[in-house]
């Protein structure tokens, strides 16, 4: 039996079906962290301004602090925990973030990486200016922006070469 403000949530998270009972007022970041134990997605501003909570829903970038958990019902969610391959190999974006030293304290890194994956998939990596524009919703307090742009550009090139 669920409470008056509780509903079942059924999603595919990182390729695995998951269910939880969530408060109808809960955001996706709350459900991921508190109900499903996926704490890689960070809660930053809780207003959709910093991008720390960025995840992919059906392959599209979403600020999970602004999306109700139930809006993800029946959909596919990818978090930072789901990017690495089944063999543990890091995603090309994760590899490039390491190579380019594109993180400082690391708090914004999961959201930056998820946004970068979306940015690359959406084809917004033709120049540094375009990357800056399409990644502008993600804030890094440590100001690793130059390295982040280099990492996104490098990962886009690597992924393009891989797909040939």
Structural domain spans, the chain: 6-82, 92-162
Per-residue pLDDT reduced to its tens digit, 21-74: 999 999 999 999 999 999 999 999 999 999 999 999 999 999 999 999 999 999
pLDDT (tens digit per residue) in 126-136: 999 999 999 99
Q: Look-up: residue for tokens 């602004």?
A: 66
Distances (CA, A) of 50 to 5, 55, 72, 111, 126: 28, 13, 21, 9, 24
Q: Which two tokens stand for residue 55?
A: 């995840």
Based on DSSP, count helices (H) and strands (E) in the chain, helices before strands: 5, 5
Q: Angle at Cα 106 formed by Cα 84 and Cα 50, nearest 5°?
A: 100
Compute the distance between CA of residue 153 and CA of residue 148 in angstroms, rounded to an integer.
9
Q: What is the pTM assigned to this prediction?
A: 0.93
Q: Is 148 exposed, middle or buried (0-12, 13-18, 19+ CB in 10 A)?
A: buried
Contact 61, 115 (CB under 8 A): yes
Class of domain 92-162: mainly alpha
The model's confidence at residue 2, banded by pLDDT at 50, 70 and 90, is low
Is 1 a residue whose pLDDT tops 80? no
Q: Give me the CATH topology for the region 6-82.
A: Ubiquitin-like (UB roll) (3.10.20)
The pair of structure tokens assigned to 49 is: 């301004």
Using a pLDDT cut of 90, give the percent of the chain over it: 88
């Amino acid at each position: 039996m669920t409470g008056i403000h509780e509903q079942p949530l059924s999603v595919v998270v990182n390729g695995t079906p998951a269910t939880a009972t969530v408060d109808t007022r809960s955001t996706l970041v709350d459900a991921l962290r508190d109900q499903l134990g996926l704490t890689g997605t960070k809660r930053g501003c809780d207003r959709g301004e910093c991008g720390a909570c960025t995840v992919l829903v059906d392959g599209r970038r979403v600020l999970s602090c602004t999306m109700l958990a139930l809006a993800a019902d029946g959909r596919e969610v990818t978090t930072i925990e789901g990017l690495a391959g089944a063999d543990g190999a890091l995603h090309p974006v994760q590899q490039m973030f390491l190579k380019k030293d594109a993180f400082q304290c690391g708090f914004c890194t999961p959201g930056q990486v998820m946004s970068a994956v979306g940015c690359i998939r959406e084809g917004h990596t033709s120049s540094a200016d375009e990357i800056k524009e399409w990644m502008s919703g993600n804030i890094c307090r440590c100001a690793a922006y130059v390295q982040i742009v280099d990492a996104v550009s490098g990962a886009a090139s690597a992924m393009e070469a891989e797909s040939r």
